Structure 1
Amino acid sequence: MTDFSSHADTWSSPFARRRASGDLWVHPVVSPRYYRYYLDGLGAVYGRTPKLRTKGFPELRDPKEGMAVILPDGLRLFIAANDFAVVDPAVVAWADVVGQVNVDPAISYSPKVIPIGPSFGLPWRSRPSLASFVLRSGAMAAPSRVPAMLRDYLRDHGDRAPLSDFGPSLSAEHEVFFIANYWNNAPAANERRLRFVRAVRRRPSLALTGGFRSRVDLPEAYTSYRLDTPVDHREYLRRTKKSTFVFNTPAVHDCLGWKLGEFLALGKAIISTPLGRTMPGDFRPGEHVHVVDGSEDSILAAIDRLCEDREYRRRLEESARRYWEQYLRPEVVIRRMVDSAGGVG
């Protein structure tokens, strides 16, 4: 049996307690890489391992599209953690609640859709448990793809740090760590990131490490910032924790990327360009992130303020972690979705 969670969580509301017995069901078309975060949340809230089945679910084809869940009392949840701000109307019709990472404020959604904010990848408990899950889910959903699924998912197993590593830590005073993929399909994001590293370089008191990762040749403007030595995820977290501040910007499809979720969980002082997606709760510039317009001068002004005003930097750090605890922790996301149903189910 695949172990999705090593512990049960106590949830005191009556609405939750009436879901304290019975089975949890998950549709087998689901990406372990994208949705382990929420599987952990289910395990923490309900204290049991979700089971796989297709009965009672909509037809799903893309493992990245989302995760469909039927709770013990029959409440139907759908979690969409891909890069897009739209969700299949058939899924909305099926679900009682849709938790959407990327909610575009310019789009009119069904009342069932709620913003849940960014998540990030988490590792499986072990290679054997991941292999067991892939074999069972693949056999139920796409038997011909099982060999490819095993290869793809097992290859990446272990490249992510566990949730226990995502704790706040004392940052350094004059060290900035930056690492990002160069995306051919996100030129605006690449340019904003380039402006950030250039702005950091304009302050000799700051030691900049990291750079851009790319499997192909970088444009000339980026070559001096190329990162040729791989950095594993635990080292990435260690150096990010030490970084005086971090930089966030929407990437492909203007999505809320994993980095934003990681930075909030780590309690970092975040310099960010405007977010084009809705965050849950009362997410405010100047309290949870320091927002800039994306120009190099605006980024430089933010760098100077965070270096000079330690109290402001500390407030950003504490507010970031507090926000993650209140809205983004895996079990909190599940609780918010269930409570938002208002007794539907």
Structure 2
Amino acid sequence: MAATSFKSLRTALETGGFDPVYVFHGADDHLKDEWVRLVMAHAVDESTRDFNCDVLRGAELEVSGLSAALEALPMLAARRLVVLRDPGAMKKPLRERLERYLAKPAPEVVLLLVVPSTATKLDPWLAKAGSVYEFKELEGEELAKWIAKEAKDRCGVAITAAAVDRLAGYTGSDLPMLAGELRKLAAYVNGGTIDEAAVEAMTGVRPGATLADLLDRAAQRDTTGAIAIVRDVLAQPKQSGVTTVLALTAQMLAIGWGCAARARGMSASRLESEFFTLLKEGGSVYTGRSWGDAVKCWARAVPKWSVADVVRALPHLHAADATLKDTRISSEEQVIVSLLLAITPPSGAKRAA
């Protein structure tokens, strides 16, 4: 079954017209959990929730427990809710029992199957189990909307658009981390508005000193500018030399592909859309920022590179990755600086072989 529009799920929350079976899957577990809480709040009344809501885990479940949850009648309510997490971890007898139920689900039960992000592909039997919703990592405008809503609804404060951009550049699409930073920022502004100055004060991230900025400068062959912010980038949370090399490698491969595509006659105007297609087909690719920002950067950079430049850069990227994974390495900053000098030498400098 194809992924369903979230509009229909919002309508179900508002009207109570729930489908018998839902399947939540995708890369963002935080968003999944937010929607599980919403379904729970709207599908079963809080006063009878203890009787009419079961939360089960596939790896810990027995056939008898699953049968009891699916066959029980609602108590003093119109429906029951059964949340089954990680259904793919169930043993064969459990799956067979569940599939028999899915063939004829009970009208008074809402069954919510929650697939963890570690499952890179949705099992075929789950894809046709019910109404399927994919929770992708937020990026771009959707991520900005989530930050603004989280600040207002959960933290009770306003946040400027510039602060949203700064915070997103700091945390990426890590929603749990974003939620934590917003709580700290809300306490910091004490009822005021979160602005760029507040984000800088709390995170230490200066304008123009994020991983996205480093990638932009490297793509434009601004070696001096990229090297100048290496220390600041590596000092940020969840950032390391390895993740920096991963993002640089994805960028170089994309730019190389773009150079080859232009040589084959592809128009410059098509590059961004084709980069998007590559990312979708590639699955889990670490770009170091939102896909939208990445593809814009790559398309702008293509005229500054050749396929030969990219081919020369790849061994240096591989060597840097290996060096950084050696436990004896003493300076990640020096490895990244040396890498940038090798793959994006300053104008007039001799390129590394």
TM-score, normalization by structure 1: 0.30
TM-score, normalization by structure 2: 0.29
Higher relative contact order (CA 8 A, sep 6+): 1
More helix by percentage: 2
